[in-house]
Amino acid sequence: MKWRRLLSFKRWSEVFRRLPRLLRATEIPLREKLLFIIPALLYWVLPDVMPFMPIDDIGVTLILMNWFVSRAERKYPVLPSGTAS
C-alpha cells in the first residue's frame, strides 16, 4: 500500500504543490525548513563526498521533499491544506 502511494502521480503533484506553500509559511520555524533545505543543497553541491550513496541528486531531493511535506503537515496541522473545496 505504501509503495503504491509513493509511486502515485497524484501524490507527487500534491507534494510539488504543497512544498512552496510550506516553505513560505510563517507558522513553520526556520529550523524546520532547514531540515529540508540543508541536506538537499549539500547533496547537490557535494555528491563526491558521499560516494557510498548510489542515488541520483533528483532522487534524494524527491525523497527529502516527500519527507518534509509529510512531516510539516503532520506537525503543523493548523496550516490550510491548499486543496480546492
What is the per-residue pLDDT across 17-44, written as a single tens digit (0 to 9) for each? 888 888 888 888 999 899 888 888 888 8
Q: Establish if 80 belongs to a structural domain.
A: no
Count of CA atoms in the C-beta half-sphere (13 A) of 22: 28
Domain around 63: 2-75
Cell of 49: 563526498
Domain count, the chain: 1
pLDDT band at 56 (very low <50, low <70, confident <90, very high): confident
Average pLDDT, rounded, for the chain: 78
